[in-house]
Structure 1
Amino acid sequence: MMRSQRGFTLMEAVLVIALTGIVAVMVGVFIRAPVTGYVDQARRAELVDIADTALRRLGRELQRALPNSIRVDATGTALEFLPVSAAGRYRAAPDAAGAGDFLDFGSNTDNSFAVLGPAVSVSAGDQLVVHNLGLPGADAYSGESRRALTSTGAALATLSYTVGGTQFPFASPGNRFQVVRTPVSFLCSEAAGGAGSLRRYAGYAIQAAQPTSAAAAPLSTLSGADNALLAAQVETCRFAYDPNVSPRNGLVTLTLKLTSGGESVTLMHQVHVDNAP
């Protein structure tokens, strides 16, 4: 007995393939836009997260800047400040019994004073600052309002320092002092298409002139944690500083634009800083 043969003809196979291709093209047209939108949105969210994290980090560090120590270069791409590690009030006069180690601004040999209030901690290399105005004659960077501490340790009730031939030029109206460490700089390298970067530099000596080039000393000699990448994919970056936004406060404006895959985001962050020395 003969059995019937079952299968597809060539015409049926070609028709199925053609219909499947048409359906696939139609599905691709409708699916492509949502998928592309999702990818673009994810890229933008990543850029926003990178920029926001970098700006918030920078803002937190600026909150502990020595009053009147923030400086921005003429291009607006380099920012530097002196971080405060400890602060307090110095004894400005003897007590009722005529005793007490007070800071005598009229003496060029007095090199110590008692700390009023909580004791402070000092690490090796820390420096003492009194009434920094950031102006010629009272500038911590140039050294007029800054002295090297000779006492180190934890919970110090008395601080000793090197006078250096002259006493501090001005007394603080509030009898305040600050202990600072080595400077911190943020430098932007701008490049079209997001090929630039924002980096943090630390661990270099205090200098009268602001370092503004990553290719020159002292920044070029730094590595590891002292030369840290805060944000990549930077297209433009600007720092602006108004020291007189109010009688006692300054305002730092930070703007960062990141670009990746044709997508760009621009974030601005403002930080109020205390400028009362």
Structure 2
Amino acid sequence: MTSNVKGFTLVELVTVILILGVLILGVNGIIIFGSRIFVESSSVDQVIGQSRFSVERITRELRNAVPNSVRLTSNTNSQCIEFVPIVASTSYLTMPIASLTQVANGAKVMRDNAQSRIAAGQWAIIYPVSEADVYQQAKAKRFSLNKVTLEANSIDLEFAAPVQFSAASPRKRVYFSSDAVSYCFEQGGDLYRYAAYGLLEVQPTASSMPVARVKVLMGQHVVNDLGDNDDLPLSLTPASLMTNAIVQLQPRFSVLGETFQYRHQVQVINVP
């Protein structure tokens, strides 16, 4: 009897298996290569986005700083920039100021807006022409508010005790603030924001921050050499009679062997 059964020979099967193996290896290489490109691109985009956010955040806050409150400190472990953010500002109508009025525990200022941001517990600061005027209470340029009463077109301020500011503002400006804020580039490549630690006469470093503070991670992968004065991420040109304070931001970031650097200048435009 004649058999009509058909099939593949062993040689044909081995040949097909070899061809499929080669195809699988090629496709697998393409998939792995594409996945690696995607992961690396995502990592780069994440670091770039994070760095842009941190630089923009520092810029916005510095532009809203109390005049002459910006100061800088550096060591081999960290570099920190500190300033006092403005919560509100307005013009005063009556204020206990030396050579103008007697010591008093009350004052009156113009209402800044319909929903005033001035509140008890804040600092009232008048005519700060140096960082000492902001951070040293003995200079009599800042006093704490005990009570705030909103009137129709003005705000009544009450201090905790009778006070007297040491100097008047040429334009009768008064600034209101709470605690200082610090941005610290730290050894290891991290950037942190410190807040809610008060106003200290001596500027704290990252390692000397009070225990009672709020610490938030703002950026990573910073590769500036904090021991090299020519490679620090921050520099400060203090205010003078001719110019406002200028902060130069120049942090370098690194990801997957690639390094990029920002060169950004911030002018602190507020004046006493």
The TM-score bracket by the shorter chain reads 0.7 to 0.9
Are residues 18 and 153 of structure 1, via their aligned partners in 2, closer, same or farther at CA, if it must alter by over 3 Å?
farther
- 1:34-183 to 2 correspondences below 5 Å: 35-75=35-75, 77-91=79-93, 101-106=94-99, 107=101, 109-116=103-110, 118=112, 120-136=116-132, 139-143=133-137, 144=139, 145-154=141-150, 157-161=155-159, 167-183=164-180
Note if contact 1:122-1:154 (Cα within 8 Å) is conserved in structure 2: no
Task: Report deviation, 1:86.
Answer: 1.2
The one-letter amino acid paired with 2:182 is S
> 1:102: Cα distance to partner?
4.9
Which residues in structure 2 correspond to 1:7-26 (within 5 Å)? 7-26=7-26
Question: Which residue in the other structure is 2:6 paired with?
Answer: 6
- Number of the residue aligned with 2:217: 229
Mapped partners of 2:135, 2:233: distance in 1: 23
Q: Per-residue deviation at 1:198?
A: 1.4
Q: Secondary structure at the match of 1:178?
A: strand
Change (3 A) 1:206 1:141: same
The TM-score normalised by the length of structure 2 is: 0.80
Residue aligned with 2:234, SS: strand
* Residue pair 1:198, 1:229 contacting (<8 A) in 2 also: yes
Give the counterpart of 1:201 among 194, 201, 215. Answer: 194
Contact 1:121 1:154 in 2 (8 A): no
Identity of aligned residues (%): 27
**Deviation for aligned residue 1:125:** 1.7
Aligned partner of residue 146 in structure 2, secondary structure: coil
User: Contact 2:237–2:246 (CA<8 Å) still a contact in 1?
Assistant: yes
- State the shift of 1:133 in Å: 1.3
Give how far 1:184 is off: 0.9
| Pairwise CA distance, 1:163 | 6.6
Q: 1:274 aligns with which of 253, 269, 272?
A: 269
How far, CA to CA, are the matches of 2:238 and 2:180 in structure 1?
A: 19
Q: CA deviation at 1:267?
A: 3.2
Task: Verify: 1:251 aligned to 2:246, yes or no.
Answer: yes
Q: Is the 8 A contact 1:187 1:200 kept in 2?
A: yes
- Partner SS, residue 72 of structure 1: strand
Structure 2: gaps spanning 5 or more residues: 225-231
Q: 1:69 to 1:27 in 2, by over 3 A?
A: same
Question: Is residue 243–residue 275 contact of structure 1 (8 Å, CA) maintained in 2?
Answer: no
Cα deviation, 1:99-147, whole Å, max 9, x if unaligned, reads xx454421451443331464654323201100111255xx110111111
Of residues 10-19 and 168-177 in structure 1, the stretch that sits farther from structure 2 once superposed is 10-19
* SS of equivalent to 2:74: coil
Which sits farther off after the overlay, 63-72 or 266-275?
Answer: 266-275
Q: How many residues align?
A: 256
- The CA distance in 2 between the partners of 1:105 and 1:22, in whole Å, is 90
Unaligned 5+ runs, structure 1: 92-100
Question: Using a 3 Å threshold, how does the CA distance of structure 1 residues 259 and 245 change in structure 2: closer, same or farther?
Answer: farther
Distance 1:161 1:221, change over 3 A: closer
Contact (CA 8 Å) 1:88, 1:177: kept in 2 or not? yes
Deviation at 1:264, TM superposition (A): 4.1
Shift of 1:208: 0.4
Report the CA distance shift for 1:153/1:122 in structure 2 as closer, same or farther (over 3 A): farther
Question: Using a 3 Å threshold, how does the CA distance of structure 1 residues 27 and 245 change in structure 2: closer, same or farther?
Answer: farther
CA distance in 2, matches of 1:197, 1:23: 45
Q: What TM-score do you get using the length of structure 1 for normalisation?
A: 0.78
Q: What residue number does 1:242 align with?
A: 237
